[in-house]
Amino acid sequence: MQVNDIHPLRPDPAEFIRIQERLAKQIDVSRPLRREDLRTVAGVDLAYGGEGESETGFCHVAVFDAATMQVVERAEAIGKIEVPYVPGFLTFRELPLIAAAAEKLETVPDLFLFDGNGILHPRRMGIAAHASFFLGKPAVGVAKTYFKIAETEYEEPEREKGSCTDIKVGGETLGRAVRTSAGVKPVFVSPGNGINLDSSTELVLSLTGPESRLPVPVREADISTRRMRRNWEEEQRLSP
């Protein structure tokens, strides 16, 4: 698939906030999107290995048929991580590998699900929001942990599957804590771009199976990045 050239994949860190604020003005989270509208849906995740100058990232994109939930294509990318981790700027660490993996896809997914946030971010530019501009498709963030914004806490949803509570920052609803399986920890869902919060919530719930609290495509990407890292670590151990 073609990846859009929105800005340099390795911009000057002095430009990070300016880039986020510019793109945030273009986000659209008003569009409803049903599972019946989707032919394919992709899960995206990254893992990291090594540290310091040798830190390496592993990106996996798993594309599923939205009707059968069978994998139709996979793409991977491995590369050096050049941006240190700073809260709020995770995307700039991960975009080069996401773009490299996505460019290998022959299938163009109708929706991307990210292990991370969408507009639930201080500048409304979590990984799902930011990456959507490069991918040119709707995207949803499904985070395993809560990224607190402006000291805003979230209310724990009821324990039944499908229970959720809105997360509001400054009076604006940016995401939801969603119980995808009864009795397990919630995930934190926020639209990235091209889709609204209600549709994001409904799709995350419908795409989550009984074996995990994550949607199937994200779980598959998560498992695959950890496999990639293990293989890389073994290669590093065996190399002279």
Annotated binding site for Mg(2+): 45, 115
Instruction: Of 144, 165, 146, 145, give the one whose Cα is nearest residue 155.
Output: 165
194: left (phi over 0), alpha (psi -120 to 50) or beta: left
Distance, in Å, from the CA atom of 96 to the CA atom of 60, rounded to the nearest integer, reads 13
Distance, in Å, from the CA atom of 96 to the CA atom of 127, rounded to the nearest integer, reads 12
Q: Show the tokens assigned to 199.
A: 């549709």
Q: Which residue stretches of 42-118 are H helix?
A: 90-102
Pairing of strands 111-114, 71-80: unpaired
* E strands present in the chain: 40-49, 56-65, 71-80, 111-114, 139-143, 164-169, 172-178, 187-193
Distance, in Å, from the CA atom of 239 to the CA atom of 33, rounded to the nearest integer, reads 48
Q: How many residues does the chain have?
A: 240
In eight-state DSSP terms, residue 135 is H
Torsion, Cα 63 195 146 170, to 10 degrees, reads 170
Binding residues: 45, 115
How many Cβ atoms sit within 10 Å of the Cβ of residue 76? 18
Relative orientation angle of helices 90-102 and 127-135, to the nearest 10 degrees: 30
